[in-house]
Amino acid sequence: MKDYKDLSAFTDKKLRTLRNNLNNRLVSFGKGEKEVKALPPSHLLHGMDEANCKTLLTKVQGEMKKRSRA
């Protein structure tokens, strides 16, 4: 799992990409599939479960809002 402690170091484009990936991953979790597709180790969200994705999405959205106000 990658380290997302300092989201302020991410570019705006990287944050948007991460947000979109998280939203797509949460849709996959929400479909109720027994086995959600495993992501390759190079993927941004490799090793993250649904709870981790939701938590990270909240943090990403907060960082994006903070930047939009500045």
Give the residue-averaged pLDDT of 24-52.
88
Cα separation, 15 vs 9, whole angstroms:
10
DSSP secondary structure, 4-69, as one string: -S-GGGS-HHHHHHHHHHHHHHHHHHHTT-SSPPPPPTTSTTTT--HHHHHHHHHHHHHHHHHHHH
Range of the domain at 42: 7-69
- The pLDDT-based confidence of 51 (bands split at 50, 70, 90) is very high
The answer to the question of residue 2 being in a domain is: no
Is 19 a residue whose pLDDT tops 80?
A: yes
Q: DSSP character for 3?
A: -
Inside any domain, residue 43: yes
Residue 59 domain flag: yes
- pLDDT at 1 > cutoff 80: no
Residue 23 lies in a domain: yes
Number of domains present in the structure of the chain: 1
The 10s digit of each residue's pLDDT in 52-66 is: 999 999 999 999 999
What is the distance between the alpha carbons of residues 26 and 50, in angstroms, rounded to a whole number?
Answer: 7
When the pLDDT of each residue in the chain is averaged and rounded to a whole number, the result is: 91
pTM for the full model? 0.88
